[in-house]
Amino acid sequence: MNQTVERNVLLEVDSLKVHFDVRDEKRWFWQPVQKLKAVDGVTLRLYEGETLGVVGESGCGKSTFARAIIGLVKASAGRVAWLGRELTELDTRAWREVRSDIQMIFQDPLASLNPRMTIGDIIAEPLRTYYPKMPRQQVTDKVKTMMAKVGLLPNLINRYPHEFSGGQCQRIGIARALILEPKLIICDEPVSALDVSIQAQVVNLLRDLQREMGLSLIFIAHDLAVVKHISDRVLVMYLGQAVELGGRDELYRNPLHPYTRALMSAVPLPDPDREKAKQIQLLEGDLPSPINPPSGCVFRTRCPIAGPECAATKPPLEGSFQHAVACLKVDPL
């Protein structure tokens, strides 16, 4: 993929793969162990101050991809580099040094918080891990400052997670992720469990914090409208592979891959007349199994324009920084 923009690269991912062994009790000992290909060769660059949206239907590998970047899931192959430093082969101690710069916000806001700890202790936990000699009063002051920054009253510092709403619990999770002032936040569907009005508040909060703190974001979501609102570029994944990557406005205005077009056609329009007149492109069939994906292009079994060549050749992600697509039937230029 051609690179035309001069910017500081924070994160480099090259041909990242995450394969899991599938154990079958009925398998004979001489039969090979099956591999579930959760992520199968994703390549991208993340730049300083950028928000990269990651979209795709359930089971496409979005969350596994995010966890492999931060080291919560071990990569089977490929390369992940943070500011030029290789991450895939780091031991636990070396990872601890890097992880203060890369934090994560999880999907279920309440489940990601320890119910036996006060929110003050939850938010302060990273500080006590990385700065064990920091005075207690300084820790408390930092926690209260961060609580105010994410929209929580500092006088609630001794409350427990069950005393807060889902949106407030997600703000607690955001405060915990930001207390170390990291450079990158990976947001794994952070608003999918929240009401629509609360979703907008959390997304706007993340945008404000990004501008204020100079953050880069990887934002994973199912809701294409939310991704469009917050992202600079968008990565579309299907069955563990990247099928399209481009600038937000360009990709939403002119989706090239048939899978992206189908996703975009399902996005509701605010204009009732346009919503009624639009044609939704329904995908036929079910998502293939990642244990036995189709040969060649993984989307070909559901693609309306697939040809014989699509079964023989795996299309690479080709194009420019502004727009790249993995499809033998589409010209990315």
pLDDT beyond 50 at 200: yes
Q: Which residue has the higher pLDDT, 198 or 234?
A: 234
> How much is the pLDDT for 4?
43
**Sequential DSSP letters for 196-258:** HHHHHHHHHHHHHHHHHHT-EEEEE-S-HHHHHHH-SEEEEEETTEEEEEEEHHHHHHS--SH
pLDDT beyond 70 at 5: no
pLDDT beyond 90 at 244: yes
The residues spanned by each domain of the chain are 9-101+182-325
Distance CA(318)–CA(333), nearest Å, equals 9
Distance CA(308)–CA(278), nearest Å, equals 30
pLDDT tens per residue across span 154-168: 999 999 999 999 899
pLDDT beyond 80 at 25: no
Q: What is the CATH number that goes with domain 9-101+182-325? A: 3.40.50.300
Distance CA(6)–CA(37), nearest Å, equals 34
Mean pLDDT, residues 92-112 taken together:
87
Mean pLDDT, residues 56-72 taken together:
91
Average predicted confidence (pLDDT) for the chain? 89
> How much is the pLDDT for 271?
67
According to DSSP, residue 273 is labeled: H
Q: How confident is the model at residue 333 (pLDDT cuts 50, 70, 90)?
A: low
Q: How confident is the model at residue 2 (pLDDT cuts 50, 70, 90)?
A: very low
Question: Range with the lowest mean pLDDT among 221-235, 245-259, 275-289?
Answer: 275-289
pLDDT tens per residue across span 129-144: 999 999 999 999 999 9
